[in-house]
Structure 1
Amino acid sequence: MSNAVGWLDGAWGVVLLSVLVLLVVGWYLSYLAARLDRLHHRVETSRAALETRLARRAAVALEVSRALGPPEGERLRLAASRMVRAPDAPVSEAGENLLARALHQAFPDADRVNRLRADPATGELLDELVLAGERVRMARRFHNDAVSHAQRMRRKRVVRWAKLAGTAQMPQMVEIDDSSPDGLA
């Protein structure tokens, strides 16, 4: 029995301990890389969902602009058509904020909205616009949450040292005005 314990004290013990440490470190780095990959995939998926929701809101806003008189209807039509033309392009925060301002100017109070609701077709469009706005807010919240988790993981020292993110760009938050106009709230 003393021979069995004796070999652990020599070179074999060091080799065995080194292999064990390398296996644990390799497993941990592999775990972190897989988690980071899942977080990046979540960011991409949530970004695509957000872009879809933004395109839908712009399309509905464009339809609603036809029921409004000048100048609000024209301003809303211009802002919405600018965002509808490029649904596959990256989110233009300036364009989305312009659309949000146009929505706020078009629906400043409930009186105007109530007059528009007198027409059932316009009322349905307004309901759809409210729903599209809620979905944009939810999609942006999910996206920014996913970005926050990915950024937090990428800031970990071991992730940076081992270069586990590779050449992937740092995910960015989407900061747009997604508040609901007073008249539609």
Structure 2
Amino acid sequence: MRSALPLAVLLVLALLAWYLSFSASRLDRLHHRIEGARSALDAQLVRRAEAAVELAASGALDPASGLLVADAATLALEAGEQAEVVDLTDLGDGRRARSESALSQALQAALDDETVGELRHDPLHAALLDRLVSSSHRVRLARRFLNVAVTDARQVRRKRVVRWARLAGRALEPRTFEMDDDGPAALDRPAG
């Protein structure tokens, strides 16, 4: 009976070591997934801003709307460049999220039903509009993927054993990226 107790203790310690290793590995994979999702979101935000600048510079929009969209897109690109130095989410003041939301709002204001209808009749402008629609859709998807990854990582980090064993190390708590990513309502309607 004496030999069974040390064996049981060794078994419990081995199971605990396996569980801690499994949890640390899972948390590490989630943090890598967050980094990949951040990179993908960054790329899609840049593509959307570039598509908006192209549309504004094409002369397809009236001068006031073109200026509004170009200015918002330029500010979004600048905020993106500055956020690359620190972090995509710009944890300090949220400038990137605000500038991306401002671009969404500028696009909503500039692209009403009538304007979108006119743009769709010109093949060149329709191509620019399609690029903007595609990139806006990809921004929504990339942001959702990032936020899901962050939520998953937060759930794992909240587990008592993860906190007790400090499996997250010194990694900062991941944060979601919150912005207005709604596109103009006129773009959601079918062409024709």
On whether the aligned pair clears a TM of 0.5, the verdict is yes
Query: Corresponding residue for 2:114?
Result: 111
Query: Corresponding residue for 1:72?
Result: 65
d(CA) in 2 for partners of 1:22, 1:36: 21
Query: What are the ranges of 5 or more consecutive residues in structure 1 without an aligned counterpart?
Result: 1-8
State whether structure 2 residue 135 is matched by structure 1 residue 132. Answer: yes
1:8-87 alignment, distance < 5 Å: 9-10=1-2, 12-66=3-57, 67=59, 68-87=61-80
How far is the alpha carbon of 1:49 from its aligned partner? 0.3
Residues 98-143 of structure 1: per-residue CA shift (max 9 Å, x gap)? 1011101111x22111112333211100011011111111111111
Query: Corresponding residue for 1:181?
Result: 184
State whether structure 2 residue 159 is matched by structure 1 residue 156. Answer: yes
d(CA) in 2 for partners of 1:159, 1:128: 44
Query: Corresponding residue for 2:146?
Result: 143
State whether structure 2 residue 99 is matched by structure 1 residue 95. Answer: yes
Alignment RMSD (CA, Å):
1.3
How far is the alpha carbon of 1:86 from its aligned partner? 4.9
In the alignment, is the contact (CA less than 8 A) between 2:79 and 2:99 conserved in 1?
no
Amino acid at match of 1:78: D
Amino acid at match of 1:126: L
Residues 163-184 of structure 1: per-residue CA shift (max 9 Å, x gap)? 0000011111111111110222
Percent pairwise identity: 45
Number of aligned positions between the proteins = 175
How far is the alpha carbon of 1:15 from its aligned partner? 2.2
TM-score w.r.t. structure 1 length?
0.89
In the alignment, is the contact (CA less than 8 A) between 1:83 and 1:96 conserved in 2?
yes
In the alignment, is the contact (CA less than 8 A) between 1:52 and 1:87 conserved in 2?
no
How far is the alpha carbon of 1:29 from its aligned partner? 0.3
TM-score w.r.t. structure 2 length?
0.86
Secondary structure of the structure 2 residue equivalent to 1:174: coil
